[in-house]
Amino acid sequence: MARVLNKQRRLFDFIWSDPHFGHRNVIKYSGRPFMDVDDMTEKLIANYNSVVGPEDTCLWVGDCFFLSNKKAIDIMDRLNGKKILVKGNHDPTDSQCMKRGFESVVHEMKVYIQGHPVRISHYPYWPDFWTELKLKWKGYKSTLRYPERRPPKIKGEILLHGHTHSNIKVNGNCVCACVEAWNYKPFRVEELEKIVNTIKKEQNNKEIKDESKQ
């Protein structure tokens, strides 16, 4: 389900993805700079509240908790502001997510940033043919899950996603919202606006160059 927003309306002030509260193994797998899962919880909460204020709204791009509903609610109650969710593969049912404290829960969203269409999905694009072969050869099977949930590639759109735990913020027309890329704290929508403008300028310059070669 996608939600299309008016070009003039701002739905959120901050963005983050894949905090994985309560997930012990993610510290090892993603090389997170925390001593243990409790240290990760406390520092993620402190980081969040250091930037998100009581009147702000933060967009979560999936994979929030590896905890019971009660423990998830306890953490949500400690976090400032309103929260809206674009669901990931580790998130429970919509109704459970709402009970945990999210104001709104969707599976995908389309917004306009600086007048440009931005699709928001927990999932990145499905890799191209050669990248897919390389991932299979290296045994990265987890990277090739959920093909049916991957967003379509639409010319002119920019994709904001999570899921990868990459520390690279921008790759082509894709922007990674994972906490690993943003120093383990939410980032302002103004940062996304700057990135979107840069991507669109690069795309326009490439089109001009391509046309000049014809």
Q: Could you tell me the domains of the chain?
A: 10-213 (3.60.21.10)
Each residue of 152-194: pLDDT tens digit? 999 999 999 999 999 999 999 999 999 999 999 999 999 999 9
* Contacts with 156 (C-beta within 8 Å, 6 or more apart), sequence order: 116, 117
Rg of the chain, C-alpha, whole Å: 18
Instruction: Calculate the average pLDDT of the chain.
Output: 90
Confidence of residue 134 (pLDDT cuts 50, 70, 90): confident
pTM confidence score: 0.90
DSSP state of 21: B
**Do residues 43 and 50 lie in contact, with contact meaning Cβ atoms separated by under 8 Å?**
no
- H-run or E-run covering 48: helix 37-51
Query: Which two structure tokens, joined as six digits, stand for 11?
Result: 């739905």
Measured CA to CA, the distance from residue 139 to residue 113 in angstroms comes to 37
Mean pLDDT within 135-143: 65
Each residue of 22-79: pLDDT tens digit? 999 999 999 999 999 999 999 999 999 999 999 999 999 999 999 999 999 999 999 9
Specify the range with the lowest mean pLDDT, choosing from 72-76, 92-96, 105-109, 146-150: 146-150
